[in-house]
Structure 1
Amino acid sequence: MRSIRAAAVGAVTMSLALAASACGGGSSTGGGSNDSPKTLTYWASNQGASIEVDKKVLQPELDKFEKQTGIKVKLEVVPWSDLLNRILTATTSGQGPDVLNIGNTWSASLQATGALLPWDAKNFEKIGGKDRFVDSALGSTGAEGKDPAAVPLYSMAYALYYNKQIFADAGIAKPPVTWDELIADGKKISAKGKSVLGAEGSNLSENIHHVFVFGKQHGADFFTPDGKADFTSDGVVAAVKQYVDLMAKDKVIPTGNAEYAQNQSVSDFAKGKQAMLLWQSAAANLKSQGMSEDQYGIAPVPVQSGTPGTGNQVNSMVAGINLAVFKNSHNLDGATKFVKFMTSDEEQKVLNTAYSSIPPVKAAQEDSAFTSPSNAVLKDTLAKSASALPQVADESQFETAVGTAVKELFADAAAGRPVTTESVKAKLQKAQQQMPTK
């Protein structure tokens, strides 16, 4: 998943209460209300460098689907800043699209609304079976023990992107494996007058993704086994402090990045302003901004010690996009056919190549198009050292509450205010108080 708007998630609680009664039917204005078996509406998330790029990628494939099935797909590419709010409005009004993209971290939250079609064994069989998909992608499709609320479409993992020339100029022979090595490399890079690591301090989703990884590396989770918020444990506090300290203490993240929003750190890296970038499947984005693949290297995200792996060596969330169907669609058969088409081996190769993502479909993932060194790093991460964000109904509120806490801590660091264990814990305590009570 890429990015969400802070205010959007506040509507989730209301949505959970209202959606069950709102999913019985649609109206002539919504996509989900489609009375024609020959048309579908599709909300696609903004995966490329712009909405226009996405239209150029998707429209030929939608035309191909229409030629095969006679079903016309009406496409709307929705910016990430609007997507969750649009979906939540659709769950309460019953006026949504037939098919939509969702960030995979939202799966359990949107599943709890009751608005999405459950992918039980019968529905999976219609698209070729559940066993076509890799396990890591299926782990981010809804709450454990329930039928998935969506089907994996694009898989992504975080990696460390580094500028080869800046590294060479600083006398650094290889990318850092641990955070201590990254900080040490940062001093060499800073001595050459270059900024070290890009971050997006006001991007709530990026904040969550990174502190989740640090949390795993500190042996901590943000929720108890029964799904209650647990933001103030020693491990979580240490994880958030270590991330913010990359700016506050270690001086590897520029203070100006405290105000950065979606894609600003990618832009800086592509322009050679930053030596390193932590990002998910960035190749297509970097290419669109004029950076050639031979200008940068890609390596696993650092860990505390040793090398990435399972347990405390987790170095990425299981990032990705899922494809969901509103169950009040008047064209469930057409919607299912569309999901089958989009997750077919051939389409998976086309779409994931366009977006530099990894197919969550096993057969497509083994195609030669996905065996480059950079893709090998991403596939290895997804297979060995990535973990799904908590699949709990309150996950969306968690992204907003903790993401905002981290944003405020970055603001403190940028302003020269001290970031201490106590100040971090206080922000996390405030975030926990904002979560729904069980």
Structure 2
Amino acid sequence: MRRIRAAVTGAVTLSLALTASACGGSADAGGGQAKKTLTYWASNQGSSLEVDKEVLRPELDRFERETGITVRLEVVPWSDLLNRILTATTSGQGPDVLNIGNTWSASLQASGALLPWDEKNFGAIGGKERFVESALGSTGTPGQDPAAVPLYSMAYALYYNKKMFQDAGIDEPPTTWDEVVAAGKKISKDGKWGIGVEGSNLSNNIHQVFALGKQHGADFFTPDGKADFTSDGAVAAVKQYVDLMAADEIVAPGNAEYAQNQSLSDFAKGRTAMVLWQTPSQTFAAQGMTAGEWGVVPAPVPSGTPGQGAQTNSMVAGINMAVFKNTKNLDGALKFVKFMTSDAEQITLNKTYGSVPPVKSALTDSAFSDPSLKVIRDTLAASAAALPQVPEESQFETVVGTAVKELFADAAAGRPVTTDSVRAKLEKAQQQMPKK
């Protein structure tokens, strides 16, 4: 995903807006075949593309039996998905329905390429009121009709290795950042480390410093949408995150190069004791870690009690489902979105993927009463905040995520990470944003 982020603000805003009329690739000119087929690009939610196909195919077959509409499925890796969306709009060979990361909603909305979810379109899938409010907060620019509807909801939590905590004499999992550092220092010796990070993963960097920014009173954008990366709160948030390696020394220097879930692998193999992640239970199991070996608590906040404002502990993570505005099979696309957001499908798919439903009536199902999922539900309900819903959000992820990556590289190399050096990196990032 990193290699395409820089193109988002310019390419998404311009290319999609200019070529949206080319979309709707599953239809023929007369519309006959269009009524019977849909093309769907699904995001990679499972441990592999093949796993996703195995999960989704039976559900899509069920939809075909109910409606007579065949769904042509392609599971697209996250590293390719946004670039594929851009290419589709210029080539005219695009899907009817697709998954998008919820942080892309405002950027893609600004292009005009996606179907607006007005009252009529929401009515076709059962109404806007079916969805959890926090999930709707990441579907587009406030005050406009959403560009997508929520499909899977996730949030960050702190996962910890029970045995490593026991061996270090730590009786309770940490709930504050001071406790995280204290626990990490007890564990960080003899080749083991306190907590893992993905220092070269731009999106993950943003997710973590955004929550820390909220805890320091920073939003990274002003109310009128201007970049505000150099405020004291923003600088403090970035420095606190990088200092887990630079000053606290509870993160292995090699984590500065991690970008592809290596921190999860280290956690599963007992090399690090803690990790901040989104619903990774499926990943742990895929690497041979049993449910009894790990525990989960809400991501830390200064007071130890998550909430709003300075007690925000996660961004609202998740996947949205969008429809290209110029699909030749709008009726079929709406039927498919209704199917995928139905209670039955929400329960089946979110249970399988370890996420939680953004549909209120499905969220109350007993399948999501597990203590590990309760942490996610509670976080989304009370202490998560949506990333800035501005057209430049994706460029924000690129430039600030890169600044954090470079600061981790400095820390790994033993170069000092100071308030001044952090501010300088963030000033450079802000200069790369569009002027308003």
- TM-score normalised by length of structure 1: 0.96
- Aligned residue for 2:115, secondary structure, equals coil
CA contact (8 A) 2:96 2:329 kept: yes
Query: Counterparts in 2 of 1:12-411, with a 5 A limit?
Result: 12-26=9-23, 30-31=25-26, 35=31, 36-191=34-189, 193-411=191-409
Say which is worse superposed, 219-228 or 287-296, in terms of deviation. Answer: 287-296
Q: d(CA) in 1 for partners of 2:212 and 2:426?
A: 15
- Structure 1 stretches of 5 or more lacking a match? none
Query: In the TM superposition, what is the alpha-carbon distance from 1:263 to its structure 2 partner?
Result: 1.4
- Alignment-derived partner of residue 8 in structure 1: 5
> For 1:275-320, what per-residue CA distance to the aligned partner results, in whole angstroms no more than 9, with x for missing partners?
0110011111211221111110000111123411111000000000
Query: In the TM superposition, what is the alpha-carbon distance from 1:231 to its structure 2 partner?
Result: 0.5
Q: d(CA) in 2 for partners of 1:364 and 1:345?
A: 5
RMSD of aligned alpha carbons: 1.4
AA of the residue aligned to 1:308: P
> For 1:57-86, what per-residue CA distance to the aligned partner results, in whole angstroms no more than 9, with x for missing partners?
111111111111111111111111111111
- Aligned residue for 2:199, secondary structure, equals coil
How many pairs align? Answer: 433
Q: d(CA) in 2 for partners of 1:201 and 1:184?
A: 21
Identity level (%): 71
CA contact (8 A) 1:105 1:140 kept: yes
- Aligned residue for 1:329, secondary structure, equals coil
Q: d(CA) in 1 for partners of 2:284 and 2:343?
A: 26
Q: d(CA) in 2 for partners of 1:243 and 1:394?
A: 23
Query: In the TM superposition, what is the alpha-carbon distance from 1:18 to its structure 2 partner?
Result: 3.4
- Alignment-derived partner of residue 416 in structure 2: 418
Q: d(CA) in 2 for partners of 1:193 and 1:23?
A: 53
- Structure 2 stretches of 5 or more lacking a match? none
Q: d(CA) in 1 for partners of 2:74 and 2:94?
A: 12
CA contact (8 A) 1:241 1:420 kept: yes
Q: d(CA) in 2 for partners of 1:134 and 1:273?
A: 37
Q: d(CA) in 2 for partners of 1:372 and 1:297?
A: 12
Q: d(CA) in 2 for partners of 1:188 and 1:412?
A: 24
> For 1:229-250, what per-residue CA distance to the aligned partner results, in whole angstroms no more than 9, with x for missing partners?
1101110001000000001110
AA of the residue aligned to 1:71: I
- Aligned residue for 1:275, secondary structure, equals strand
Query: In the TM superposition, what is the alpha-carbon distance from 1:90 to its structure 2 partner?
Result: 2.5
CA contact (8 A) 1:32 1:97 kept: no
- Aligned residue for 1:23, secondary structure, equals helix
Say which is worse superposed, 32-41 or 182-191, in terms of deviation. Answer: 32-41
CA contact (8 A) 2:151 2:340 kept: yes
- Aligned residue for 2:150, secondary structure, equals strand
CA contact (8 A) 1:6 1:204 kept: no
- Aligned residue for 2:289, secondary structure, equals coil
Q: d(CA) in 2 for partners of 1:33 and 1:384?
A: 47
Q: d(CA) in 1 for partners of 2:214 and 2:23?
A: 42
Query: In the TM superposition, what is the alpha-carbon distance from 1:33 to its structure 2 partner?
Result: 6.9
AA of the residue aligned to 1:19: L
